[in-house]
Amino acid sequence: MNFNDVLNSRRSVNFFDPDKRVSNELLKSVLDMAAKTPSSFNLQPWSVIVVDQESEKETLKKLAWNQPKVTEAPLTLIVLADRHGWKEGHPFVEKNFQEMIRAGSMQESQREWFKGAREGLYGATPERQLAFAAKNAGFFAMTLMLAAKSKGLDTHPMDGFDLEGVKKAFHIPDNYWVPLLIAVGYFKQGETLMPAKWRKTADELIVRFD
Ligand SMILES: Cc1cc2nc3c(=O)[nH]c(=O)nc-3n(C[C@H](O)[C@H](O)[C@H](O)COP(=O)(O)O)c2cc1C
């Protein structure tokens, strides 16, 4: 599938075949593709919880406005955005720093500078911390949906859910915000999608504030 076909055929699908599982191998290949997403300083402050057990799917559905796709899709991903994914001492921040040293793009002597840059950009206020987590995890989620489509899977993003309820039911630590859920599976043959939705034109996208 070329990129235009992926873009044009990705839709938020309401009809999933409940009998068609997504293999672990396929899920992992989609996640590996989504991992190519760019992020602030390459900090990658995102993760997913894979909800594919029937009882957990029922729990999640109840917390997600009873949207049937949560149980009809073979799996739903809870996307996590780490509001602390810029902090000194965070394991992936340290891994990122070490990888940059290994690649020759950073030196140990720059540790304090890098720490200060992250704190200034992302740590100054709770709003900045949330913005850092949300924008990066949003990009990740989009790549994931396009990657899934390119592999023959369909998806449905959802922010219609009880944030605090989901955090509690899935024991999600407080540093994470949950930007969205993504149902993933195979389109149920025989169903018909609504026509594709309207989009802003390029002219409508361009603004300025003189
Ligand atoms: C962050 C986000 C949250 C969404 N939440 C829901 C949701 O809870 N329930 C739902 O039915 N659709 C939800 N949608 C789907 C949108 O309605 C859909 O993407 C939009 O209408 C465009 O349709 P398309 O994805 O088929 O192109 C969500 C989409 C996004 C990106």
What is the tens place of the pLDDT at every residue in 104-148? 999 999 999 999 999 999 999 999 999 999 999 999 999 999 999
The 3-class SS string of the chain reads CCHHHHHHHCCECCCECCCCCCCHHHHHHHHHHHCCCCCHHHCCCEEEEEECCHHHHHHHHHHCCCCCHHHHCCEEEEEEEECCCCCCCCHHHHHHHHHHHHHCCCCHHHHHHHHHHHHHHHHCCHHHHHHHHHHHHHHHHHHHHHHHHHCCCEEEEECCCCHHHHHHHCCCCCCEEEEEEEEEECECCCCCCCCCCCCCCHHHHCCCCC
Ligand 1 binding site (Cβ under 6 Å of any ligand atom)? 11-12, 67, 157-160, 180, 197
Ligand 1 atom 6: the closest Cα is on which residue? Answer: 158
Alpha-carbon span 87 to 79, nearest angstrom: 20
pLDDT score recorded for residue 133? 98
Task: Please state, in angstroms and as integers, the Cα–Cα distance from residue 130 to each residue in 11, 47, 56, following that order.
Answer: 27, 15, 27
Kindly give the distance from the C-alpha atom of residue 160 to the centroid of ligand 1, in angstroms, as a whole number: 9
Residues of the chain with pLDDT under 70: none
Indicate the top mutation candidate among 6, 8, 11, 12 to test ligand 1's pocket, ranked by most ligand atoms within 8 A of CB: 12
Kindly give the distance from the C-alpha atom of residue 159 to the centroid of ligand 1, in angstroms, as a whole number: 8
Kindly give the distance from the C-alpha atom of residue 81 to the centroid of ligand 1, in angstroms, as a whole number: 19
Predicted model pTM: 0.97
Give domain 3-205's CATH architecture. Answer: 3-Layer(aba) Sandwich (3.40)
Kindly give the distance from the C-alpha atom of residue 180 to the centroid of ligand 1, in angstroms, as a whole number: 10
Nearest atom within ligand 1 for CA of residue 14 = 11
pLDDT score recorded for residue 1? 87
Residue of 73, 85, 95, 63 lying closest to 18 (CA atoms): 73
| Ramachandran angles phi, psi of 17, nearest 5° | -80, 110
Kindly give the distance from the C-alpha atom of residue 12 to the centroid of ligand 1, in angstroms, as a whole number: 6
Nearest atom within ligand 1 for CA of residue 179 = 1
